[in-house]
Amino acid sequence: MSLQAVFFKRTFNFRFDARTSRGPMKEKTSWFIKVWEAADESKYGIGECGPLPGLSMDDLPTLENILRDVIIRLGAVHDIHQENIFAIVSEIVPRGFPAVVFALETALLDLSNGGKRIVFDNGFVKGEPIPINGLVWMGDEEFMMKQVHEKISEGFQCIKLKVGAIDFDRECRILESIRKTYEPAHITLRLDANGAFSAEDALAKLKALSRFDIHSIEQPIKPGRDAMEKICSESPIPIALDEELIGREGNKDALLKKIHPQFIILKPTIHGGFNHCRLWIEEAVKMNIGWWITSALESNVGLNAICQFTANYHVDIPQGLGTGSIYTNNIPSPLSVERGFIRSHAIQNWPEL
């Protein structure tokens, strides 16, 4: 049976200016691939392609042309099974488009599972929760502290703060204030610098931050710098690589052996889709490198798929999957965040898309 597909675009509006060290965002655009068998359009799979502006490899003006080409090639596919989906996607999506890979993997896996927004049929689909961190966005001290108190009152025991966009001394004052109120035994703090520190002053800043009992810090300097290897070996705070992994799917083993971070953070939209994230995890485990999975500002469609992928693994630390409430016009879904966990309540409640 031949496949048919379309893609369409939606823009999602943030509830606030989402600030990172790369600047503020007011909205985020995603493209959705919808796939069905020609004989039955009522049963379809859907996947989200949402490259991050200024970060993703496929944040390009030619993206829609690539999506059109992929849909044409998909018409030549006559038989899909879960066992061959990754191979099919690898054949029809050109290299350098991880968000397209993620979208097509999701759509085809969804279709193969009956078109019910079940991408991986595991415990998450049946209601088992996943622990997540509470994300605190950059802003002035009052805004960030307000978010911290809200997240902790909501039951989060792991808080992740974006750093690097405001004065470093002010950020230290915020962390000091948090630690005066919340002890490390009760609240875990993670930081994400998005490459904001310079290679020259990164170790000094990491030493200054270490007095606040930080669990880890993501990407302290920009990717591709020789200094990262030294920083990972000498930092008093465990280093988690994120942007460093972008476009490095072809040499996972060499990269991890050379830099040997304490953690890697995987975003299927950015780091090669589900198949490559699976391979990243396998390499990390071989080298005793920790990992967790994070969404990349997808809508609930992409977030649902990433949660189900995460649930394929034994998860014992909070994941970065709490971004479902950031949009005013997100797609309605059975996902909810409760007391520091994300769960799915009724998979059949998804709307028509």
Task: Tell me the catalytic residues.
Answer: 162, 267
Residue 126 near residue 339, CB atoms below 8 Å: no
Torsion of CA 148, 150, 156, 157, to 10 degrees: 40
How far is 351 from 316, CA to CA, in rounded Å?
32
How far is 85 from 115, CA to CA, in rounded Å?
15
Tell me which H or E stretch contains 170: helix 168-181
**Structure token digits, residue 117:** 């927004």
What CA–CA distances, in Å, run from 154 to 158, 302, 304?
11, 24, 21
First to last CA, the chain: 23
Q: Which residue has the tokens 């050379």?
A: 258
**Structure token digits, residue 310:** 């995460």
Residue 22, classed as helix, strand or coil, is coil
Report phi then psi at 191, rounded to 5: -125, 150
Residue 175, classed as helix, strand or coil, is helix
Picking from 312, 304, 243, the residue whose alpha carbon sits closest to that of residue 48 is: 304
How far is 326 from 328, CA to CA, in rounded Å?
7
Residue 116, classed as helix, strand or coil, is coil
